[in-house]
Each structure stands twice: as C-alpha cells, then as structure tokens.
C-alpha cells in the first residue's frame, strides 16, 4: 500500500508526540506550532497572508507571494 500523494498546494497538520501541540506546514514552506487546532487551520488557510513565525496568532511578516 502506498501513502497519500502530496500535491503542490498541500496543507499539512501533524501532532507532535508527547505534547498537546500541532505543527502546521503550508505549501509555501512556512511552519507553525499551536495548541489550538482552530488557530492552526486559520493560520494555514490565511495563505499568503499568514504569519511565517512559529506563533499562528502573531502578526509578523507573511508568506512570500509569487508574482507581482
């Protein structure tokens, strides 16, 4: 059996074993860690305007946009 196909626009959320934290990875390469799954998905779905820091509720710089 093969694993799921990963496309160019894949959003991924993984549980960090031994903790109550989730790690989110955006297709743009940004990563974040959060305790709240709702905050994590809001952060991911805000692409390209989501913060690229480790805090999904932070207001730091967003993802790099492709194009003008």
Residue 4 falls within a domain, yes or no?
Answer: no
Domain residues for 46?
Answer: 15-57
Q: pLDDT by residue (tens digit) across 18-68?
A: 999 999 998 888 899 999 999 999 988 888 777 655 455 443 334 544 433
Average pLDDT of 1-16?
Answer: 74
Q: What's this model's pTM, rounded to 2 decimal places?
A: 0.61
**pLDDT for 15:** 93
Q: What is the tally of structural domains in the chain?
A: 1
**pLDDT for 19:** 92
Residue with the larger pLDDT of the pair 4 and 35: 35
Residue 30 has which token pair? 């940004």
Residue 34 falls within a domain, yes or no?
Answer: yes
Residue 39 falls within a domain, yes or no?
Answer: yes
**pLDDT for 53:** 52
Q: How far is CA 38 from CA 3, 34, 47, in A?
A: 26, 9, 15
């Amino acid at each position: 059996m093969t694993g799921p196909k990963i496309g160019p626009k894949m959003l991924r959320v993984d549980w960090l074993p031994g903790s109550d934290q989730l790690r989110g990875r955006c297709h743009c390469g940004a990563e974040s860690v959060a305790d709240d799954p709702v905050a994590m998905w809001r952060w991911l779905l805000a692409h390209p305007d989501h913060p690229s820091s480790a805090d999904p509720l932070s207001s730091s710089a967003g993802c790099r946009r492709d194009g003008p």
